[in-house]
Amino acid sequence: MINSPTHALVRSIPRSYKDYYAKKNIDISYGLAESQHEKYIQTLKDAGLKISTVPADETKPDCVFIEDTAIIWQTHALITRMNPVRDGEQAAVEETLKPTHTITHMPSVAKIEGGDVLHTENTTYVGLSARTNSMGAECLKNFLKKFGRPVVRVPVEKCLHLKSGVTYIGDNTLVAVPGWFDMSLFDAENIIYTKEGEEGAANCMRIPNNLLVQSQYPKTAKLLEHFAADKGLQFHPLDTSEFVKADGALTCLSLLW
């Protein structure tokens, strides 16, 4: 399994998360979000990861979606340049990573968020989306060059981030939404396609010997449960309803290394 993680960095949910989305007529239960987040963290712990937590920032309602703030490879971290509404979330994450990681920054004209970065065994894919531009992709390419990892650009037109519609679950297998990407760009041998109406199910997490999926997509979850059983993996269906309402999902809630 690629770059097998031993650590996860998560961030607490600010109270402003609920209020921010209420202004957009999206009703989020803060208590349910907290319990879902706690279960998510416990699942990572049970999978053997050491957990560190960054405190919430009430001025940054989306800061729980910590994945977007940095791209980590081994003991190196590329600090991202984010959507202006979210820019600034990176500072506390960078301070937390400094003792253990070599930090790299990028110029302000470059834009990239971690949700647009997908690693497989031999290749890293970067989504060119509303949140990631060509200069951001070039910075990622330069960042990973020392590790000998090729970077392939993937146009993203039908979702927020690349990993909103495709993730890698090990064993040369992707989970993807049919019709959202040019799948010929990817080098995986196998693709599990999400069922109709369950596009959000494409966002999964593979931690060695564990597969985390979103339980609110039962038809696709059944396919993924069969995959887990075939590969001898522990299967973890998790309810992410209060994060999906904000275009979030499983991978958004942690940084792994």
Tell the CATH superfamily of the 7-256 domain: L-arginine/glycine Amidinotransferase; Chain A (3.75.10.10)
Residue 1 has pLDDT above 70, yes or no: no
Model confidence at 3, pLDDT cuts 50, 70, 90, reads: low
**Alpha carbon 168 to chain centroid distance?**
11
Q: Over the stretch 30-61, which tens digit does the pLDDT of each residue have? A: 999 999 999 999 999 999 999 999 999 999 99
What average pLDDT does range 199-210 have in this prediction? 97
Q: Over the stretch 149-166, which tens digit does the pLDDT of each residue have? A: 999 999 999 999 999 999
Residue 13 has pLDDT above 80, yes or no: yes
pLDDT at 46: 97
Is there a contact between 250 and 216 (Cβ–Cβ < 8 Å)? no
For the chain, give the DSSP string.
Answer: -TT---EEEEEPPPTHHHHHHHTTT----HHHHHHHHHHHHHHHHHTTPEEEEEPP-TT-TTTT-GGGGEEEETTEEEEPB--TTTTTTHHHHHHHHTTTSEEE---TT--B-GGGEEE-SS-EEEEESSS--HHHHHHHHHHHHTTT--EEEEE--SSSSGGGTEEE-STTEEEE-TTSS-GGG---SEEEEPPTT-GGGG--EEETTEEEEETT-HHHHHHHHHHHHHHT-EEEEE--HHHHTTT--TGGG-EE-
* 153 residue type, one letter: R
Percent of the chain with pLDDT over 70: 99
Model confidence at 98, pLDDT cuts 50, 70, 90, reads: very high
Burial category of 99 from C-beta neighbours within 10 Å (exposed 0-12, middle 13-18, buried 19 and up) = exposed
In the sheet with 50-54, reading across from the earlier edge strand, the strands are 50-54, 7-11, 255-256
Model confidence at 195, pLDDT cuts 50, 70, 90, reads: very high
Residue 224 has pLDDT above 60, yes or no: yes
Name residues whose C-beta falls within 8 Å of residue 135's C-beta, 6 or more positions apart in sequence.
106, 107, 109, 110, 111
pTM attached to this predicted model: 0.97
Percent of the chain with pLDDT over 90: 98
pLDDT at 229: 98
In the sheet with 173-176, reading across from the earlier edge strand, the strands are 166-168, 173-176, 190-193
What average pLDDT does range 161-173 have in this prediction? 98
Q: Over the stretch 64-95, which tens digit does the pLDDT of each residue have? A: 999 999 999 999 999 999 999 999 999 999 99
Model confidence at 2, pLDDT cuts 50, 70, 90, reads: low
Average pLDDT, the chain: 97
Is there a contact between 134 and 128 (Cβ–Cβ < 8 Å)? yes
Give the residue numbers marked as catalytic: 161, 252
